[in-house]
Structure formats: structure tokens, C-alpha cells
Chains A and B, each alone.
Chain A
Amino acid sequence: MTERELIAKLNNLQNVKPDDSWKTSHREILLAQVQNTSGDYRVTGMENFWLVTRNVFASVPQFAWASMAIVLFLTTGIFFGDRLPVGPNNSLYIARVISEHARLSTMFDGAAKSRLTVQYASGHAREIASTLSDINNVSDQSEVAKLNDSFKTEIAKFKENLPTVKSDDNALVTIADSEVATTGLTVYTPAGEGTETPVASSTPVETKKDAKLILAEAEKLFNAKDYAGALDKLKEADEVIKQ
């Protein structure tokens, strides 16, 4: 006989049970004896509700709760993360960043992607400046150093992705050199060759140039620890881009 067969035979013995008649009669005796003991406590409906609730939580393994929490955290981050009102020193911030990365990685339209990158970078930079402007928010110097680095990274992203503007549907226009832009007249270079250079208003280039200048000023102010000033400049840069 193998061990498995032996165990199977032992398992079969689970069907050995006492007589039903004995069980019933003994139950009645036990009930009478228990009822006769002192105290007559019965768990009320409300108490039972709390016990059930507590036991539901206790019955589900901790691993399952942890998995559910992670899934919930990621889901919230992916779908609502970019709307979460959290700052860079907040633990939910990472959920928001993951959400933004996820959103950017699913975009194939380059222009739209750049626009969104600028929007996110601008948001992050402003949040960092805002967080640092309140000294109570950050007391740890290493945290301040990290936020300084993050600010620079965000500004760099902001500058890199400043919008390229289409003068019309056929020609992709690159931004002219800032020296030219200062004159107020801009030359747009169409993507296709042999087409006549379109004449456009100077506003987009000024926008680009102004935004760059404003961002540089914001960076200077930030380095000088004038966070409120940097914040104002960032808002100004946003306004210029929106025009």
C-alpha cells in the first residue's frame, strides 16, 4: 500500500459519524445546560454586524489586501492621477507622475505630445516653486536639493517642447532665430521645397521667444530663491504660450 492509498483510506474515515438520534438528544441536553448557566448574553444585530465586518477583513489574506491596494493605487494614478491636487512632496505625487507618463506614452501625435509635455512640465515647475515658497513645506535640505534639480529638469523639458507652429495645413513651420524675432518680422521655413514662403504674423515666434526669455528669468529668480517671483514668471510663460 502506497502512502497515497493509505491517506485516501484515512480520509474515507471522515464519514464516520455519531448517531443522529444521539446528536439530537445530546444537543437538547447541552442546550438546557448552557441556558441554565449564569448570564444571558446574546450578540445584538449591530454587534454582529461589526463582528462580521471585522472578520471579513481578517479572513481575507493580507497579501490579497496589499494586491488590491496596489491595483487601486495604480488605477487611480492612471485614470485620475493628472487631476490629483498633490504637490511634489506628497506620496500621491508618484501616482500622478506615473499617470502622466502613461498618458504621454500612448500619444502618437507629436505636436499634441509636445503640448502636453509642456503643460505637465509647467505644472510640475510651478508646484515645485510653490512648495519651496512655503518654507514649512520642506525642512529637509536634501529634499530642497532634489526639488531644485527637478525644477531644472522641468524647465529644460518646458523649453525643449515649446510649441512649433503650423502656418497652414501644408507647411510645418519652424521657429526663426530669436535675433530675427526681435525685429518683429519672422521668416518661416516651409517643410516642402519649391513652395513660396508664407508670410505669417509675428506672434507665434514672439511667443516662442518670449516664453524662452520668461523661462530663463524664472530660472534666475528660482536660483535666487525668489520662489514667488519664479512662480509669477512661470504663470506668465503659460499665458504667453496660450496666446
Chain B
Amino acid sequence: MTSRNPVQKFKERNLFSRLKKKDKDAFIEAYDLYVNDIHRFVYFKIGNKEEANDLTSIIFLKTWEYIKNNSLTDSRTLRALLYKVARTSIIDYYRQNQTVSSLDDVDHPIDVIDDSQSVIEQISLNSDLEIIRKKLPELKIEYREVIIMRFINDLELEEIAEITGKTKGNVRVLLFRALKALREAIESK
């Protein structure tokens, strides 16, 4: 797993400081920096590409509204703030739709965009994706959530703890159980 380097962390910290001063340009820079992560998080949680697009738009707008009207003292990082907004937006989405979509959506295949990958890597990726696509929705929501945040979106344990309101130890236990559950789900196919 690749963790963020100190330069990236510094950049994020600087961006967050500018956002505390309600700098609009900083927010657009934040969009460029986090849109992929937030979209991916939403997509793997709700399993529908179109809905993920709409929800991602809503999340960024809600975040800007929040930044504009609050002093941002309760969030340690911008990333954590975005994920918190994303979580509440997804909960709202579930409430409104009352149905939980799955990733097994043949009408909307997932686009994997990475020109640098070879065909073999692309096939391998699609195969991995296929497995996860089918098995991830079988997990409990909280398991799915920590797996996405930790292993797909590469968040640190501290950040996941802050976002979910759990302790670091709880997150570690949850991750262990989530991985075990996913492995069992895959092996039971």
C-alpha cells in the first residue's frame, strides 16, 4: 500500500489552511486533488456510476457550504472533512432511495482509466474488480466502508477513526474482521 508522502501531506495541510480562510481558489484545487478518491468511495458504497457522479457533485457543494459557514476547527484534515460529508450524503441517499444498489450493475460497467497500464494489467484489474464488484456488497456496510477507506482509498487509521468516530483500536479490529469476511465471501463462490 502506498501512503502519502510528506510533500503531499504538506500540500494538503496548506490547502486546508487556505480553506479555513474561505479561499475559493483553494476549494477548486481541493476538488482536483480529491475528486477521484471521493468518487471512488461513493461508487464502491452505492454501486452505481451515474448516482456516484451526482452524489459526488452534491458532496463537493455541501462541503463548500460547510466551509463557508463554519470555522473548520472540528476537522483535522480536509480529507477527513470530505469523507464525513460523503458519509452523511450517502446516508441521506439511502434514506431517500430505500434500496441498496449493488456493484453488480451490468448496464453500467465501470470505467477503469489508466493509459499507462498494459493489456494484461488491464485484464487483471478487471478480473479483480469483477470479484470485488460481486462480493463487496455482500459485506456489512461498516465493513465495506473501512475496506474502501483503508485498502482502496489509502486512508490512514487515524483518519478513518476520525471520520467514523471510532477509536484507532476499534478501526483496526473492524478492518481485520472486514478482511476476513471479504475473503470468506470470495472463497465461497
Contacts and interface: CB of A to CB of B under 8 A. Distances in A.
Interface of A: 1, 3, 6-7, 9-20, 22-23, 26-27, 29-31, 33-35, 37-43, 47-48, 51-52, 54-56, 58-59
A133 to B, nearest CB: 52
B114 A9 contact: no
Contact of A11 (B60, B68, B152): B152
A184 to B, nearest CB: 75
Contacts of A33: 61, 64
Where chain B touches its partner, the secondary structure class is helix
A42 to B, nearest CB: 6
Contact of A34 (B2, B28, B32, B179): B28
Contacts of A23: 35
B181 to A, nearest CB: 11
B27 interface: yes
**Which among A18, A31, A39, A40 has the greatest number of chain B C-beta atoms within 10 A?**
A18
Contacts of B17: 51, 54-55
A97 B117 CA distance: 62
Nearest to B133: A13
A20 B24 contact: no
A55 B21 CA distance: 15
B83 interface: no
Given A1-B187, A7-B1, A51-B14, 11 more contacts: A7-B179, A10-B147, A11-B152, A18-B35, A27-B32, A27-B35, A33-B64, A34-B28, A41-B23, A51-B18, A52-B14
Contact of B10 (A10, A20, A56): A56
A58 B23 contact: no
Nearest to A41: B22
Interface residues of B, number: 56
B10 A18 contact: no
Contacts, number: 131
Given A26-B53, A37-B68, A41-B23, A14 B153 contact: yes
Contacts of B154: 11, 14
A40 B10 contact: no
A21 to B, nearest CB: 11
Given A3-B183, A31-B28, A56-B10, A43 B23 contact: yes
A122 B99 CA distance: 88
B32 to A, nearest CB: 7
A48 B179 contact: no
Nearest to B114: A15
Closest A-B pairs by Cβ, 8 of them = A10-B151, A9-B128, A59-B10, A18-B39, A51-B17, A15-B114, A55-B13, A13-B152
